[in-house]
Amino acid sequence: VPIRAGGYSDELVQTAKSVASPGRGILAIDESNATCGKRLASIGLDNTETNRQAYRQLLLTTPGLGQYISGAILFEETLYQSTTDGKKFVDCLREAKIMPGIKVDKGLVPLPGSNNESWCQGLDGLASRSAEYYKQGARFAKWRTVVSIPCGPSALAVKEAAWGLARYAAISQDNGLVPIVEPEILLDGDHSIDRTLEVAEKVWSEVFFYLAENNVLFEGILLKPSMVTPGAEHKEKASPETIAKYTLKMLRRRVPPAVPGIMFLSGGQSEVEATLNLNAMNQSPNPWHVSFSYARALQNTVLKTWQGNPENVEAAQKALLVRAEANSLAQLGKYTD
């Protein structure tokens, strides 16, 4: 087992285990200010710090959330914010036994020399930022890069995505943060599920090659994969059983059992689809905790219910608990709709 610098190895293993605990998953609310603005616009609200704070307060102070949610991924602004009563969000989470996490990548930009693909920025200064986030209470991190099937993907884009994730993972571990490794394979395209499987296998083999080369401690990471599905514009839809079969085949071929948890992204699936697919993956025992790290599939109904109206906060929090509980059951393979 590689010993990471910084002396955090044991703590990283403990953190990863506690996020990957039975019947729980991650609430992803780490939308950048620009993306959060789009969500707020969908209910007619302006993208102000006050509105972002009010929305995140609604989510993070939902009573009983810790029963189903083990970690919350925050955007930097939220990590330093407090409730309107002056209680730090980080303290609200700690009391609810929810681990605070932080998005540390700086987003996507065009990748020169590729087929209109992108790469993810954020390695410059990452060590010092990570140390600051740890001091502020964060215990895990997230870095999301993307791979596009219709654009290739080119060998260059896959290699860059994998290398960036591995550098980020090593830096996070040296600063006490469990890295969530997220190469999102976008749903866009009319390709078949077999093509997605082929690309996912390629991407994850490169990711693990470079994670190993960077001496990353596998027991102290979490993965955030896309499920293996047909492209969003493909002529046929796949059943949850088929998606589970393909996704688990890919994971068993590529992910060592030392990795404690697989926390799927929802990637534009509907709330119920995301729950049914997760439930299908938990119908037989897996070598890793197989769970969720959803943003849209946990928040869509919450936003619609809230509408920015303080009178709707309680109803919106109930809507969050409904999705959180459904996904908790799906993590245990016990969801029925």
List interacting residues with ligand 13P (CB under 6 A): 28, 30, 73, 142, 144, 182, 265-267, 294-297
* Radius of gyration in angstroms for the set of CA atoms belonging to the chain, rounded to a whole number: 19
Give the three-class secondary structure for 206. helix
Residue among 139, 147, 75 nearest 106 (CA): 75
Nearer to ligand 13P, 258 or 272 (CB): 272
Which of 182, 206, 219, 271 is flagged as catalytic?
182
Return the structure tokens found at 226.
């896309």
Task: Tokens 């996904």: give the residue.
Answer: 327
Give the three-class secondary structure for 333. coil
Nearer to ligand 13P, 71 or 176 (CB): 71
Q: How far apart are CA 111 and CA 128, in angstroms?
A: 26
97 is catalytic: no
> 130 CB contacts (<8 Å, ≥6 apart)?
104, 141, 171, 172, 175, 176, 177
Nearer to ligand 13P, 28 or 207 (CB): 28
How distant is the alpha carbon of residue 168 from its chain centre? 15
Nearer to ligand 13P, 36 or 295 (CB): 295
Nearer to ligand 13P, 6 or 79 (CB): 79
The nearest distance, CB 78 to ligand 13P, in angstroms, is 12
Q: How far apart are CA 247 and CA 244, in angstroms?
A: 5
Nearer to ligand 13P, 35 or 53 (CB): 35
> 119 CB contacts (<8 Å, ≥6 apart)?
108, 109, 110, 111, 145, 157, 160, 161, 164
Count of all residues that appear for the chain in the document: 337
> 337 CB contacts (<8 Å, ≥6 apart)?
272, 275, 276
CA angle 117, 27, 81 (to 5 degrees): 95
Q: How far apart are CA 301 and CA 236, in angstroms?
A: 27
The nearest distance, CB 30 to ligand 13P, in angstroms, is 5
Nearer to ligand 13P, 142 or 254 (CB): 142
224 is catalytic: yes
Q: How far apart are CA 62 and CA 77, in angstroms?
A: 19
Q: How far apart are CA 46 and CA 39, in angstroms?
A: 10
The nearest distance, CB 1 to ligand 13P, in angstroms, is 28
For the annotated catalytic residues, the residue numbers are 182, 224
